[in-house]
Amino acid sequence: MWGGGAEQNQSFPRIDSVPWITTVGSTAPEPGAKVEALREERRRGPLRQCVKCSLDIYFSELNGFTPAPLYDLVLSEVERALFEVALARTRGNLTKTAELLGVNRGTLRKRMKKYDLC
């Protein structure tokens, strides 16, 4: 199973955070009007639409790279953001964070360790 580390798979651009796209030494022209329209739509839409637009932009900016194994990549990116926001909203209170997320504290601690949020 792919672990998601950029050091393991150098054939694709890394998706770090919103806007999820990084330009890795690209000499390609600036993104066209379609990509800019997708970015604007991503800002206004529900989460599902934001993810869809981000993936459309990701594919349009691959610039010849092979795409990453998307399932694990997207889930880990979304899950990490979810845990970061929940922890911030509860000011680091693990009991409240676990309740907010609907997980038990053991699961919360495991995910915090996975994403280096400890």
Domains of the chain are 8-68 (no CATH), 70-114 (1.10.10.60)
CA terminus-to-terminus distance, the chain: 25
Q: What is the pLDDT of residues 23-53, one digit of tens each?
A: 344 444 454 677 777 777 777 778 888 888 8
Average pLDDT, the chain: 77
Category of 91 on φ-ψ map: left (φ > 0), alpha (ψ -120 to 50) or beta: left
Judge contact between 100 and 86, C-beta under 8 A. yes
- Name the amino acid, one letter, at 22: T
Does position 83 have pLDDT exceeding 70, yes or no? yes
Percent share of the chain, pLDDT over 90: 37
Structure token pair of residue 82: 């979810």
Count of CB atoms situated within 10 Å of the CB of 83: 19
DSSP symbols for 32-59: -HHHHHHHHHHHHS-HHHHHHHHHHHHH
Whole-number Cα distances in Å, 85 to 16, 20, 23, 75, 101: 16, 17, 26, 15, 10
Per-residue pLDDT band for 57 (boundaries 50, 70, 90) equals confident
- Name the amino acid, one letter, at 23: T
